[in-house]
Structure 1
């Protein structure tokens, strides 16, 4: 019989790529991971990994067994969900992007605190790209992420998305800036997310469509930090309304061509989507999003 914990290690290796990454994610030593994978290989009776330079890669049999491992772990999670009703206080591990951590999670927790059924929520602030990987690897139960127009995030087998709401995106400029459109901002200092983020690529495309390459002087994953740079008169930025819930003092908001919006969504594994605690947290996030005020436009 193949041992479920070892199957998880194989699946993690297929997702994370290295023994060291698997060990760090599961709080094991690299030698323990290697030993357990060697035991799994003996149980399977076929080579599951092979050397690729200084790394290990999965063989065809390894990839096939990793796919079966994903299904076995999903069934295990479904069984645990079915038994979770007997748990006094279920735990939901939440990973969110910075703007959600700032303006969405606090009101959602307030709603949950008034619920007759208690749930313990833990939260980590992570970029969507990282959080969605961790969700697939069972590091979290629920992720709040976004996708920008024309930049849909990859669809993953076993992951389900629920739309929380649409978030308009506008140009934020200092209050005394005379610009009336994005085309007027070719010579301004810009605040954007770091290279590699989906929103960075989208924002650069907006500038190029207006005829210029942005002068990016400030890289920050936190869009609230972008807003503060704008309000202090040091930058311009493309900001969704969720980043402006704290107020628009010191800045003006201009419309972008086509009035684009980003989608804010909650992602869960299909195997845990029916868990009562996950459903309650997801609904609280949706209700909190719906109640957010629209930023004033000076």
Structure 2
């Protein structure tokens, strides 16, 4: 009989590539991981790892076993979810991972709802870059998380996770407003606007983050490599640097709710999409289901408020134009 815990270690090795990375993620020692994988090989009766010095690669048999492991772990998660559904009150801990702009605008109202409707549920929030959220979900340090993708950086397939769309945003070019301009929008064609910034200095996220990758790929698609002067992961900081004349940047809707004076936002064809993600088999777990509802409702409320704000701003612009 194959040990489920050892199968999980093999699955993590397939994703993380090294025994050291698996050990760090799951709080084992590297030697303990190696011992457990060796025991799994004995249980399987076939070689699972090819060792070359300190590196290991998975054999074809191991890769096939990883596919079965994904199914087995998902079934166990589903069984746990069904057992939890028999309880009369929602208790336990729910670990949520989200990126910074979502914490401010979407997650906070969802937390208020969850706390009010399920007071016995302990909520733990971790702010993290979406690029590392899938690994945290597989390692079970998170139960539900917000993932992102951009047109130029699509979401990679995650066999052990289920995802569902939640929000789509426009990405804007943030730059200094031209002297004498009284509008935060740029009349220039969006396709030409980005290419026109090939000689500009840029502000981007920390290397390794999704925002940094998006900036680089969007500029490459426009025909140039950006000269990145500053790295900042908080969009308020990014916009402050733009306002200080330190460069231009790409900012999505959620990051552009408060724009400093003098900063112009030019909508681009690029979109950012946010997805809810959770381990396969957990979607019907009462805590996960409650969080899914609360987050979707928070997005709907935010979108409705944004539409109302845009309508009010448009009315003000028309009124100002009529007085000229």
TM-score by length of 1: 0.86
| Aligned position for 1:22 | 22
Q: Please tell me whether residue 248 in structure 1 is matched to residue 259 in structure 2.
A: yes
Asked whether the equivalents of residues 149 and 262 of structure 1 are also in contact (C-alpha less than 8 Å), the reply is yes
Asked if 1:34 is matched to 2:34, the reply is yes
Q: Give, in angstroms, the shift of residue 205 of structure 1.
A: 4.9
Partner of 2:242: 230
CA RMSD of aligned residues (A): 2.8
The structure having more radius of gyration, on CA atoms, is: 2
Q: Distance in 2 between matches of 1:84 and 1:257?
A: 45
Question: Does the 8 Å contact 1:112/1:118 carry over to 2?
Answer: no
- Conserved in 2, the CA contact under 8 Å of 1:207 and 1:213? yes
Q: Which moved more, 1:140-149 or 1:220-229?
A: 220-229
With over 3 angstroms needed to count, the CA separation of the structure-2 counterparts of 1:167 and 1:114, relative to structure 1, is same
CA distance in 1, matches of 2:68, 2:197: 53
Counterpart in 1 of 2:108?
106
What is the 5 A alignment of 1:212-227? 213-227=225-239
In structure 1, what is the Cα distance between the partners aligned to 2:217 and 2:199?
A: 16
Q: Is the CA contact (8 Å cut-off) linking 1:231 and 1:248 kept in structure 2?
A: no
Equivalent position of 2:92 in the other structure? 90
What's the offset of the Cα at 1:51? 0.7
**Distance between the aligned counterparts of 2:90 and 2:295, measured in 1?**
22
Describe how 1:1-298 pairs up with structure 2 within 5 A.
1-85=1-85, 86=87, 88-116=90-118, 118-174=120-176, 180=186, 181=188, 182=193, 185-207=197-219, 213-245=225-257, 247-258=258-269, 260-292=270-302, 293-294=305-306
Report the 3-state secondary structure (helix = DSSP H, G, I; strand = E; otherwise coil) of the residue aligned with 1:152.
coil
* TM-aligned CA distance change 1:114 to 1:189, over 3 Å: same
Change over 3 Å in CA distance of 1:211–1:77 after alignment to 2: closer
Superposition deviation, residue 235 in structure 1 = 3.0
Separation (CA, whole Å) in 2 of partners of 1:225 and 1:231: 10
The question of whether the paired residues in 1 share the 8 Å contact of 2:145 and 2:276 is answered with: yes
Q: Deviations over 1:17-68 (max 9, x none)?
A: 1111111111111121122222222222222222123122222222222222
For residues 94-129 of structure 1, the C-alpha deviation after alignment (integer angstroms, 9 at most, x for no partner) is 222232234332222112122146432222222222
**Distance in 1 (alpha carbons) for counterparts of 2:144 and 2:158:** 14
Gaps of 5+ in 2: 318-324
Query: Following TM superposition, by how much is the alpha carbon of 1:80 offset from its aligned partner in structure 2, in angstroms?
Result: 1.0
Structure 2 Cα separation of the partners of residues 177 and 197 of structure 1:
34
Instruction: Give the SS at the match of 2:156.
Output: coil
Call closer, same or farther: CA 1:278–1:9 in 2, change over 3 Å: same
Deviates more, 1:263-272 or 1:134-143: 134-143
CA, structure 1 residues 77+209, in 2 after alignment: closer, same or farther (shift >3 Å)?
closer
Report how many residues are paired: 296
